[in-house]
Structure 1
Amino acid sequence: MPTLLHIDSSALTDGSVSREVSAAFRAAWQAQHPEGTVVYRDLAAQPVPHLDADGITAGFAPADVHTAGQAASFALREELMAELERADAIVIGAPMYNFTIPSSLKAWLDQVILVGRTAGESPSAAGKPVTVVAARGGSYAPGAPREPYEFVTTYLEKVLTGMLGLEVDFIVPEFTLAASVPAMADFVEQARQSRTQALEDAAFKAKALAA
């Protein structure tokens, strides 16, 4: 059966556009794969711990010589890497926090990236499609005043393709704070249009993967 790995990293539960759009992707994917499996990771509700010394060193030592600490840390890495490897498609909700990704998502990436297995010359999940919902409160599009501060798609494109070998596609809802920040009132309509387009893109991309 086909498997979707669905990851959310927004700290918000209500009003999160990245969660809304990733959920739309999931719903469209499930409509095409009613017999499929969804593995869901809410990194805000159940954070993945930061990679520690035991987790790092265990990745480069045989299992039969692992200390108790290494064994415990690597068990989590093994679980997360296996989820990535078993997935046929991945969708990631990645809102912009202070110009980059949430620390919870960075922690997940650090756990799943292991040179010699998921990363390196022959990444074990190479070629799998991943759709990233890169929501942001304002606009960092080409030509925008804050374009140079965009470190979400620029970082994730390098990590997900350059290290994990995934096929990455981005959906970018903008101006998500327009309705709640008075100074952004002029962008409310653009925010609505961007959200609507993102939801349409999510459904289209999920259906396209099934086709």
Structure 2
Amino acid sequence: MGGQVELRCRCGSVRAAISGVSPRTVNRVVCYCDDCQAFAHQLGRADLLNANGGSDIVQVAPSTLAFVQGQDRIAGVRLSPKGLYRWYASCCNTPVGNTVSPAIPFVGIIAQAFAGGAPAVDDVAGPPIGAILGKYAVGEPPAGSTGLNISLLLRAIGKVLVWKVRGKTWPHPFFQREPREPIYPITVLSREQRDALRPLCGPRPAAQATD
């Protein structure tokens, strides 16, 4: 069944409840992709990245996440016109979820957005089960993060398929059911804005390259 945990932005204005959280019901991975790094830098929240530029992400079914406070502070950004929808609390620039679309039902939530942070997530969801896209990591890629991890991929696909079949897409915390459009305002970054973020990201951030 799993337990209920609280999602809370840094200043406490945005809060949500996430139900049914357990190692069996969620995926937890560390993602080193340059898009996740760019998003953190766009928000001015590089503090959320680990030493190698990784984001500790917990993937949950959309219907298990329900905002209970501060919905008027939620906004979204896409790094490109077809990129992920990356949602955040505009009051303090805390990420509160990444999504593709209702057709692919999952929400990826950074561990620090949970009340109590990563240690609290450990208690209910267990530690990360792997890492992906380590070729973009800052410095030496963590072990096991650079190749294709078939078990992680199959687990992620399996979770999404099960959530879809069991109707866990709706109610969706970020999309209207009809029409299937975002509930909250979206900003799409320009090419110039994206290009300005890339030097901050791995595998060789400009700050390191000039040392």
**TM-score interval, smaller chain:** under 0.3
> Normalising by structure 1, what TM-score?
0.26
Whose helix fraction is larger, Structure 1's or Structure 2's? Answer: 1
Larger Rg: 1
